[in-house]
Amino acid sequence: MRCDNCYKEPVVCDECVNKLNLHIKNLEKQLISANSEVDFRGKLASQFAEQLINARKKAETLDKLEEMTHKGYCPALLFDDDGHWTVTLSGIQPMGNMQKDDFCTHFIDYSWHDTIVDAVDEAYTNIIGGIK
């Protein structure tokens, strides 16, 4: 699999993680600056805070997926073409002369969610929460 941002291998490349961390730091600086003028820019500060929270959630989601792989799992995100996401840990695919696009079957281990973050959170909680 390739990184969603730059299409390089691995799924989460260091370059994109560094860019995301830099973006988070820039949002934090903007938030601090905006908060100093909160009376004048209260709405702007809350927008920056929301962006910061979303950026942190995305970074944490990547960390959770990576941690699952370190525990020996092979998480895959599935999208149902109706706006829902889930994480699967098992499936089958063709071998031999069959084309790679012929079919692939995944076993759905967890429920479907409206966001990737929620889908990964459920899988992570069930996997890592069970490993102590």
- List, in sequence order, every beta strand (DSSP E) within the chain: 76-79, 85-88, 90-92, 105-107
User: Could you tell me the maximum CA-CA distance found in the chain, to the nearest angstrom?
Assistant: 67
**Burial class of residue 35 (count of CB atoms within 10 Å of its CB; 0-12, 13-18, 19+):** middle
The amino acid occupying position 68 is: M
Structural domain spans, the chain: 1-70, 73-132
pLDDT tens series, the chain, 132 aa = 455 566 665 556 677 777 878 888 888 887 777 666 555 556 777 788 888 888 888 888 888 888 888 888 888 888 888 889 998 887 776 666 666 566 677 777 788 999 888 999 998 888 877 654
Measured between alpha carbons, how far is 33 from 35 in angstroms, rounded to an integer?
5
What DSSP state is assigned to residue 54?
A: H
Measured between alpha carbons, how far is 4 from 18 in angstroms, rounded to an integer?
14
What DSSP state is assigned to residue 113?
A: B
- Per-residue pLDDT, 52: 86
- Per-residue pLDDT, 114: 92
- Per-residue pLDDT, 54: 83
Q: Reduced to 3 DSSP states, what percent helix, strand and coil does the chain have, rounded to the nearest 5?
A: 50, 10, 35
